[in-house]
Structure 1
């Protein structure tokens, strides 16, 4: 079964410096029908204005993945990590026993547009850790590129959960297929452009859950970029 979750159905909060859309319940947005999907707990689409950002704040017992679409996001944390995340970069932070971090848009003119993803880990009280890797558009064009996995295979970042995340960029007429093992489900999130699934066109911010299917088929409809989550 394939169920669509349209962009306009998401929670929304505009704080001026931050314009955020919540696929699942988050902060002041609460919908008992959308509390997550398997271990996938959060997909927030955030736009941060120039010179603004998230001040130092804590997390624990969560796998946090950042996927930047536009601009540059500056990251600092209590592990001593300082980095800049740009389009093509994938950042994974294991909060584990506890970590504090900040995220800031250092540009004076350009906003930062990124997806922040939370995945619940298999174990509590993991040792906090950080990882960042780059995946070019060519790595993703016309194919499903593994960007995060439980075992870090194919050069992906490692998440402490039985989950695999793929990224793809598809032009008109391009198609990718992903087999789902028995008992596994998928979540597809369109990051930008348009992607077709099950004969229906999904636009930026739209998503689809896939359960009880043996395969996920994505087709390019214009130029589109999407993330596919393969989940236990």
Structure 2
């Protein structure tokens, strides 16, 4: 984990060495693997309201069986394939396909859910888990379909798909303020402004970006976290080659929480 000062903004650059690779031994679920970027099994336990960040892959005709959660909310952005949601406690079922954003709200009552890939090809989801405030009484499930997500030119050479934000109008129960999937042409520049108290997550899926003015490159599979802090801050990124970038902006939450990774179930 490398700490950076990007034009006055405190940031953490995370690479594969900082992640935990969770497998069948950890989940008790064949065919499921998740790269934990943030969460209980890595040194970075929380940033803002974020409690877990996973890049998860599920093999065909496999998944994770029914298990409980309470109080938080999770977003599943389906990058490949499809996943079926089944909350046995509340009688809620739904399907998330490629390009969809699923919202799984656990609520005070909780949920007993399974996520399954019934398809013939692998599925992949980028998962954010965050605190809810106030905590809803009951669990719920909603999907923003790929075709419904607003798309626009955010800057010259930057085409963005808004998953959460003023255009998308997809209701959440936690302090995730903006969530975008952006395609950047080579040489395209993107500037992200953070209001006082806001933090941000940048996760390239493809390509390479330069963190201007003096920061290191950010390549696919790495993660940049801007820690919530006082004052307005700006981050400028420039695509060194054609790139695809996931970007989330969130509120102050817990700030930055670091600690010793918990023992993994798989040993």
TM-score class normalised by the smaller sequence:
0.7 to 0.9
Partner of 2:117: 105
Q: Distance in 1 between matches of 2:91 and 2:168?
A: 24
What's the TM-score once normalised by structure 2's chain length? 0.75
Partner of 2:129: 118
Question: Which of 191, 194, 201 is equivalent to 2:217?
Answer: 201
Q: Distance in 1 between matches of 2:152 and 2:19?
A: 26
Q: Give the gaps of 5 or more residues in structure 1.
A: none
- 2:71–2:106 CA contact under 8 A, matched in 1: yes
Larger Rg: 2
Q: Does residue 223 in structure 1 map to residue 235 in structure 2?
A: no
Shift of 1:77: 2.1
- 1:179–1:216 CA contact under 8 A, matched in 2: yes
Q: Does residue 75 in structure 1 map to residue 89 in structure 2?
A: no
Question: Which of 169, 179, 203 is equivalent to 1:189?
Answer: 203
- 1:144–1:166 CA contact under 8 A, matched in 2: no
Question: Which of 156, 165, 172 is equivalent to 2:178?
Answer: 165
Check 1:68–1:52 CA distance in 2 against 1; reply closer, same or farther (3 A cut).
Answer: same
Check 1:46–1:166 CA distance in 2 against 1; reply closer, same or farther (3 A cut).
Answer: same
Shift of 1:76: 1.9
Q: Does residue 96 in structure 1 map to residue 81 in structure 2?
A: no
Supply the RMSD in Å over aligned alpha carbons: 2.3
Partner of 1:11: 20
Deviates more, 1:48-57 or 1:9-18: 9-18
Higher relative CO (Cα under 8 Å, sequence separation at least 6) belongs to 2
